[in-house]
Amino acid sequence: MEILRLLSSSLLLLLGLNLNSVGAFVPHPTNHRGQLGAVEATPVEEDGDPNSVSRRQAAELTFAAVGLGISFLGTREVDPQDYGLWGILPVGTYKKKKTIRETIVPGKLWTFDQKFGILDVQVPLRMTIVKLSDGGLFVYDPIAATAECLELVNEIVKEHGPIRHIVLGSVALEHKAYSGVFAQKFPEATIWLQKGQYSFPSNLPDSFLGFPVGRTKSMPSSPEEAPPEWNKDFDFLSLGPFISRDGAFGETVFFHRDTKTLLVTDTTVEVNEEVPPIYDADPAPLIYHARDTVTDNVPDTPEVRKKGWRRIVLFALYFNPAGIMVKDVDVALKERRPDINSDFLGIYPWDWVGDDIASFKAISGGPLVAPILQSLLLNRFPVESLDFAEKVSKWPFERIIPAHLKNNLKYTGKDYLNSFKFLTTSGVPAGYPKPVEADFKLLRDAEVGLVESGAIAEAPPLVGGEYSREEIIARTLYRCRDGICAPKAPL
């Protein structure tokens, strides 16, 4: 169970939700900071000046420096796919990161995929590059700046001009962890950060996270604040940031008018059985997860890869899908079989005993807001999230490029808005993905502990029921950190 908790905790930390503070999901008495009816912006306490470094932060930086020094040999980049800073990232501890470039619209739009994850739950992590009509390039959500990745990027730079803008459209750590290093590789570019950035366990200045001083800016709040070339080529809109005690959620999406493409980070994904090409060179995670139990010795076949992919997706979206039975640590260690599969010392800490196919099909075949966003984050701000989706839906896009899972989604504004209807009492329309409730169990249990600890607020009522818009807003908690407050919807 501790192994699964490690996986769950690591993935939740990407969204600033600290399970270690909630006692293994067990509710316990505490001071509640997130009760219904709290309508004023509530500041999240910090240690002194947010632009300075406290003693605790200094200690944490010292610890990180020692860790980096110990692993110095491991940081050397020998292969073009090596990423030297792999050892100091919060998760995703894999040094080799292959990059795949795909041309979406010739001469105008390209994507770059790598794998990212922990404990072989590795999913595509995607960067998008757009050619600006005035010349030069626009980068959305950078990935690890390996030699291979930079070579693929510079081939486009050579033909279409320099990178002028690098946009981090999210506050999530799996995107931020790579952006600072990538930005340093392109000194002519201006870097734009989604508002609400944070670091865990303590907030640090952006420069401490690798973002260059002097050319790193906060995301514009309106077209009037944006660079002229943005207004010529894009519409953009921010969701949040929604501030929690330990973290935040925020995302800025961009509509590229010329290619009719919507660029998003996490607000939309699509699940399907097609195994992403990024696994072609390294199918090990697929083979690992295709087993029903530790003694299974499965061959590397297309069917086995699809089975492994199906289960990776379920782990990535739910952390603890209903179809598994988790083993105690002593049992998992005793039963380990490195002779069958050597990953993680041969440990396979669960058995698949349920119907993973039904769970997978339930979330397949359409745009989906990830279950963790549905159950722990966006449902805390239903009015603001629906307002955002409705505004985005009015843009005439025909394609969505998300930062995870399937690439190049062929959907419109209507589809995007319908995927947010889980925030209404009527729910998502028929024909759209709808998760199986049993798969939500860990997230529901986590929600109880996180609310009890004050890490997140209790969810207000859904939209469309007996409560009015004004009443739902009154039951929503709007927090602040470092002068940045969660936006409150108009009445």
Confidence (pLDDT) at 244? 92
Q: Yes or no: say if 119 and 347 are a contact pair by the CB < 8 Å rule.
A: no
Q: Yes or no: say if 428 and 422 are a contact pair by the CB < 8 Å rule.
A: yes
User: CA-to-CA distance for 246 and 483, rounded, in angstroms?
Assistant: 15
Confidence (pLDDT) at 95? 74
CA atoms within 13 A on the CB side of 280: 7
Burial (CB count <10 Å: 0-12, 13-18, 19+), residue 108: middle
pLDDT tens track for 69-83: 544 444 556 778 777
pLDDT tens track for 222-244: 999 999 999 999 999 999 999 99
| 166-184 average pLDDT score | 91
Q: Yes or no: say if 408 and 399 are a contact pair by the CB < 8 Å rule.
A: yes
Q: In sequence order, what DSSP letters do the residues of 7-66 get, joined into one string?
A: HHHHHHHTTT--GGGTTTT-------S--TT--SEEEPP-SS-TTS--HHHHHHHHHHHH
On the question of a cis peptide bond just before residue 241, with omega within 30 degrees of 0, the verdict is yes
At 26, is the pLDDT very low, low, confident or very high (cuts 50, 70, 90)? Answer: very low
pLDDT tens track for 285-329: 999 999 999 999 999 999 999 999 999 999 999 999 999 999 999
Q: Yes or no: say if 372 and 9 are a contact pair by the CB < 8 Å rule.
A: no
* Single-letter amino acid, residue 220: P
Confidence (pLDDT) at 370? 97
Confidence (pLDDT) at 21? 47
User: CA-to-CA distance for 145 and 190, rounded, in angstroms?
Assistant: 17
Helix H or strand E segment including 160: helix 147-160
CB atoms inside a 10 Å sphere around CB 49: 9
Rg of the chain over all Cα atoms, to the nearest angstrom = 22
User: CA-to-CA distance for 97 and 401, rounded, in angstroms?
Assistant: 21
Instruction: Identify which of 224, 226, 169 has the alpha carbon closest to the alpha carbon of residue 197.
Output: 169
Confidence (pLDDT) at 50? 43
Lowest mean pLDDT among 42-46, 74-78, 173-177, 446-450: 42-46
Q: Sheet harboring 100-105: ordered strands across?
A: 100-105, 109-118, 121-131, 137-140, 163-168, 190-193, 216-218
User: CA-to-CA distance for 136 and 162, rounded, in angstroms?
Assistant: 5
pLDDT tens track for 92-136: 556 789 999 999 999 999 999 999 887 788 899 999 999 999 999
Helix H or strand E segment including 416: helix 413-419
CATH level 2 (architecture), domain 55-253:
4-Layer Sandwich (3.60)
Helices and strands, number each (H, E), in the chain: 15, 18
At 12, is the pLDDT very low, low, confident or very high (cuts 50, 70, 90)? Answer: low
pLDDT at 53 over 90: no
User: CA-to-CA distance for 491 and 489, rounded, in angstroms?
Assistant: 6
| 265-274 average pLDDT score | 97
Q: Where are the domains of the chain?
A: 55-253
Confidence (pLDDT) at 43? 57
pLDDT tens track for 349-401: 999 999 999 999 999 999 999 999 999 999 999 999 999 999 999 999 999 99
**Centroid of chain to Cα 327:** 28
CB atoms inside a 10 Å sphere around CB 80: 14
Confidence (pLDDT) at 33? 31
